[in-house]
Amino acid sequence: MRLGRVATRDGVAFAAVEGQQGNEIAREIAEHPFGTPTFTGRQWPLADVRVLAPILATKVICVGKNYAAHAAEMGGPAPADPVIFLKPNTAIVGPEVPIVRPPSSQQVDYEGELAIVIGRPCRDVSAADARGAILGYTVANDVTARDQQKIDGQWTRAKSYDTFCPLGPWIDTDFDPSDVQIRTELTGADGQTAVKQESRTSLMLHSVGEIVEWVSRVMTLLPGDVILTGTPEGVGPMVAGDRVSVTVEGLGTLTNPVVDK
């Protein structure tokens, strides 16, 4: 099932997205998408609604340097254990919402990633049992003010600006994340598109199950919490006028324009 949030003329609703591309409908979910969703009976053609970030997380946990080639391009060794940090939930935006470059940063980078969405309260989950704690998966862009990350020596400011966590277009509850392509494309103001990142989730140093186990040993995870699983090599800057698209094979494409504040 594909779960998301949509804005209609009547307000904002959780919905299940059904049908083939180009002919999809959004069926309104009553209350929330956790457990077994119930439906109100209302539905809309997907083309007639605005697709929002599929979840507004209590917290966003990110894994750094989870691809060996990315760790190398950042100038360090691959970590033996997952390196985790937090983004505020105020950084979350949905598809087609502009990523806003703050005037205090001269280099704002894209980082395409697979994201885990937690489905139930949990703590101390084993890697083998992690699937039972997961609602599904979505696409993420861990936007980073790279110059500030280097200056500060820690990552909070560089990762936390409003709009620095695009998510979407929806959560897929049946998705198998073990070995799929992840690709980031950047389209400039001249209309030329270049592939900037291209890798596979099978190259992650720490698997989805291992990540959930590691994080849940540190903190309680709540329904709707999002875990970004790390970015492959090829990170780089975005400028105003660009459009950045992150695609996870079989899951969807998340596209956002880039503007200056």
Q: Are 37 and 30 in contact (CB under 8 A)?
A: yes
Residue 75, pLDDT score: 82
Please name the residues in contact with 146: beta carbons below 8 A apart, sequence gap of 6 or more: 105, 107, 108, 109, 158, 235, 237
Q: Tell me, what CATH number does 227's domain have?
A: 3.90.850.10
Q: Are 147 and 157 in contact (CB under 8 A)?
A: no
Task: Name the amino acid, one letter, at 46.
Answer: L
DSSP string, 82-125: -EEEEE-GGGEE-TTPPEEE-TT-S-EEE-EEEEEEE-S-BSS-
The region, left, alpha or beta by phi > 0 then psi within -120 to 50, assigned to residue 105 is beta
Structure tokens at 19: 């049908």
Q: Tell me, what CATH number does 26's domain have?
A: 2.30.30.370
- The pLDDT profile of the chain, 261 residues, written as one tens digit per residue, is 999 999 999 999 999 999 988 899 999 999 999 999 999 999 999 999 999 999 999 999 999 999 999 989 988 888 999 999 999 999 999 999 999 999 999 999 999 999 999 999 999 999 999 999 999 999 999 999 999 999 998 999 999 999 999 999 999 999 999 999 999 999 999 999 999 999 999 999 999 999 999 999 999 999 999 999 999 999 999 999 999 999 999 999 999 999 999
What does the alpha-carbon distance between residue 153 and residue 213 come to, in Å, rounded to a whole number? 27
In total, the chain counts a number of residues equal to: 261
In the block, tokens 């599929």 appear at 54
Is 46 in the same domain as 67? no
In the block, tokens 């007639």 appear at 48
The total domain count for the chain is: 2
Buried b (16+ CB within 10 A) or exposed e, 84-117: bbebbbebbbbbbbbbbbeeebebbbbbbbbbbb
Residue 181, pLDDT score: 98
Residue 51, pLDDT score: 98
Is 34 in the same domain as 76? no
Is 25 in the same domain as 78? no
What pTM was estimated for this model as a whole?
0.97
Is 151 in the same domain as 135? yes
Is 75 in the same domain as 125? yes
Tell me which DSSP letter residue 156 carries: H
Is 23 in the same domain as 76? no
Of 32, 52, 72, the residue at which a domain comes to its end is 52
Structure tokens at 132: 């039972």
Residue 169, pLDDT score: 98
Instruction: State the residue range of the domain holding 19.
Output: 2-52
Please give the angle made by the CA atoms of 130, 134 and 136, to the nearest 5 degrees: 135
